[in-house]
Amino acid sequence: MLYIYNKSTNPYFNLATEEYLLKNFDEDIFMLWRNAPCIVVGKNQNTLSEINLNYVKDNNIIVVRRLSGGGAVFHDLGNLNFTFILKDGSENFSDFKKFTIPIIDVLKGLSIDAKFEGRNDITIDGKKISGNAQYSYKGKLLHHGTLLFSSNMVDLSAALNVKPSKFEGKSVKSVKSRVTNIEEHLIKPMSIEDFIDLIMKHIIKQYGGNNLYEFNESDIKSIEKLTEEKYSTWEWNFGASPKYSFKNEKKFDGGNVELFLNVERGIIKDVYFYGDFFSKNDVSEIEKALIGIRHKEDDIKGVLESFKIEDYFSNISEKNLLELFF
């Protein structure tokens, strides 16, 4: 087995790293890594329905989609991620417990009563510290999990908070869980760096060998290419969302406005405005102009800026109208 401590904290790069290792290495791999503040959404999720878009923008939180299914999770430097990549994929697929046992053993060694619970979680006193997900590729298995060590719980809660009634579709919805940080349950204080060392040593002892691997120039170049072409793109992180319908309603000085959207692969297919507002021109002109546009703030803003909004929505500003779309 190869052992990797990926020191990058770039979420786009790190998710690309997992795919690169899975598809280009024959060896079994164990990797530890951390991300700068970000939300990682599951492969089958509607990104916009999982995030608090305004909070994410205001706090410079990156949003990235992963290969595996499951729900959206918040990462920051107080959260440690672990990844197993193994050749016997079919044998271990959906066996989440097997991969959490070494982590639980480390925690028990720190006098923490951690348990595997539900389908894919590790808990302490009934509160979640780890969620796990898997992805299968050509007989190989990628299993990865989070470990909340000293995460910012305010960001974790606020960044994932969204009004679910705005969205209707077949995408996988995240399940809210009570969470806690590992550091709160330690008898003696420990840094996350020491915790990382402890886990790596335990895994090496369990699986044998001491093949610490560092990325070479070719690896980095390939990962950066995958980052640029896939993981940092709107098309992957937002556009790859399943088909969904979006509705929102707001009351402005100029009246009540309801918005209905049908969106496929991030592209607006249908747009309807309803309400008790007054208009000099027919709003269908704006509706038609929005069809084929990405459900993305800059794109929608660009369309709205091409119209004199006051002529279509009396006493309602372009900024007001833009708020309806998210």
Q: Which two tokens stand for residue 16?
A: 């690309």
Name the pLDDT band for 162 (thresholds 50, 70, 90): low
Per DSSP, 183 falls in state: G
Q: Would you call 58 helix, strand, or coil by DSSP?
A: helix
- Region 170-178 average pLDDT: 65
Which superfamily, per CATH, for 244-323?
Answer: CO dehydrogenase flavoprotein, C-terminal domain (3.30.390.50)
- Does the structure show a pLDDT above 70 at 163? no
Confidence of residue 166 (pLDDT cuts 50, 70, 90): low
Give the range among 57-66, 173-182, 262-271 with minimum mean pLDDT. Answer: 173-182
The reported pLDDT for the residue numbered 322 is: 96
Q: Is the pLDDT assigned to residue 226 strictly greater than 90? A: yes
Check whether 45 has a pLDDT greater than 90.
no
Please check whether residue 39 is in contact with residue 61, taking contact to mean a CB–CB distance below 8 angstroms: yes
Name the range with the highest mean pLDDT among 10-14, 263-267, 276-280: 10-14
Question: Which residues make Cβ contacts (< 8 Å) with residue 236, sequence separation at least 6?
Answer: 65, 230
The two tokens of residue 282 are: 């027919």
Q: What is residue 175's predicted lDDT score, i.e. its pLDDT? A: 58
> d(Cα 66, Cα 11) in Å, to the nearest integer?
10
The per-residue pLDDT for 295 is 95
* Band of residue 142 on the pLDDT scale cut at 50, 70, 90: very high
Is the pLDDT assigned to residue 165 strictly greater than 70? no
Residue 298 token pair: 């800059």
Is the whole model's pTM more than 0.85, yes or no? no
Mean pLDDT of 255-278: 90
Instruction: Please give the mean pLDDT across all residues of the chain.
Output: 92
The region that residue 54 occupies, defined by phi over 0 for left and psi between -120 and 50 for alpha, beta otherwise, is alpha
Q: What is the pLDDT at residue 176? A: 58
Give pLDDT tens digits for 96-107: 999 999 999 999
pLDDT of 255 above 90: no
- In the chain, which residue ranges form alpha helices assigned H by DSSP? 11-24, 47-50, 53-58, 89-92, 96-109, 153-159, 192-207, 217-226, 234, 284-290, 297-304, 318-323
The residue whose two tokens read 């929102």 is 248
Q: Spell out the domain ranges in the chain.
A: 2-239, 244-323
The stretch 48-53 carries a mean pLDDT of: 88
pLDDT per residue over 53-96, tens digit each? Answer: 889 999 999 999 999 988 899 999 999 999 999 997 667 777 89
In the predicted model, is pLDDT for residue 173 greater than 70? no
**Strand, coil or helix: 170:** coil
Tell which CATH classification among 3.60.20.10, 1.20.1260.10, 3.40.50.2300, 3.30.930.10 matches the domain 2-239: 3.30.930.10
